[in-house]
Amino acid sequence: MGETGTGEADGTDSWYDNPAALRFMQRREVVLSQTQLLGDSSLPFGAVAAGIPTFGRGAFGFSLTQFGNSFYREREIVVAHAFAPAPSMAVGAAVTGSFLDVARYGGASVWSVDAGVLARPNPYVSLGFAVKRLNNPGLPGAREGLPSITRAGIALTPLRRTAVTVDLVKSRERPFDNRFGCEAALAAGFFLRVGVESRPARYSLGMGVRSSFGRIDYAFLTHPFLGDQHHVSLSFDWGNPRFP
């Protein structure tokens, strides 16, 4: 859906963009995903993430990602938490440890902090705002730290089986990136998705199948200059529906 997740109250799928989304999870969930960045077989990217809502203590999220090969490898570990200062509002934060390992050159690590808020004034609208790398972390030997990324988003449910999402994304010294996504349920448990991004100009198409135990999702992403990308994820959820 065009990498739009800032305004979505969709738990494990969207807390990478806005950690406050964890608060609206109803069931425990584990997600496994795999892709090859830019369609290059030498650039595998895998991730496992979990979301755990609780009664009275908010919701917790954990993820581990790995990208690269034996010559160049990046790993990230994320721990997140979200709570509800009001019934229709959530506040969340995430701490990310990023680790780089380059053959014959050694490695480096850096820690960053993300924060976000999410509000649902009614069941059909949710609004989100988040900042990634809020602390502007510095890399060893680099003159400048990693740039923070500011995001604002809205998610609408104009029809019972349709969702529309819009994000504005701004990184330091770069123009705004406009993103749009749409999801439609064509049948019970079967979804089609489309998304568009402006920087770089690319689009995405996807589909998902949901059952009583979880979901299987597939996405296809284009790139104006580099290879196209396929992304597959498998999620499992369990437990009684709950709101933390």
pTM for the whole structure: 0.88
Domain positions in the chain are 11-238
Using one digit for the tens of pLDDT, what is the confidence trace for 126-171?
999 999 999 888 766 556 667 889 999 999 998 878 999 999 999 8
What's the first-to-final CA gap in the chain, in angstroms? 27
**CATH superfamily for domain 11-238:** monomeric porin ompg (2.40.160.40)
State how far the Cα of 23 lies from the Cα of 51, in Å rounded to an integer.
10
Q: Which residues contact 22 (CB under 8 A, 6 or more apart)?
A: 11, 12, 15, 51, 53, 58, 59, 60, 61, 80, 81, 82, 90, 92
pLDDT, residue 224, reads 84
Tell me how crowded residue 82 is: count the other CB atoms within 10 A of its CB. Answer: 29
pLDDT, residue 244, reads 44
State how far the Cα of 171 lies from the Cα of 189, in Å rounded to an integer.
36
* Residues of the chain with confidence (pLDDT) below 70: 11-12, 139-145, 241-244
Please classify residue 86 by burial: count the beta carbons closer than 10 Å to its beta carbon, then call 0-12 exposed, 13-18 middle and 19+ buried: exposed
DSSP state of 22: G
State how far the Cα of 198 lies from the Cα of 178, in Å rounded to an integer.
5
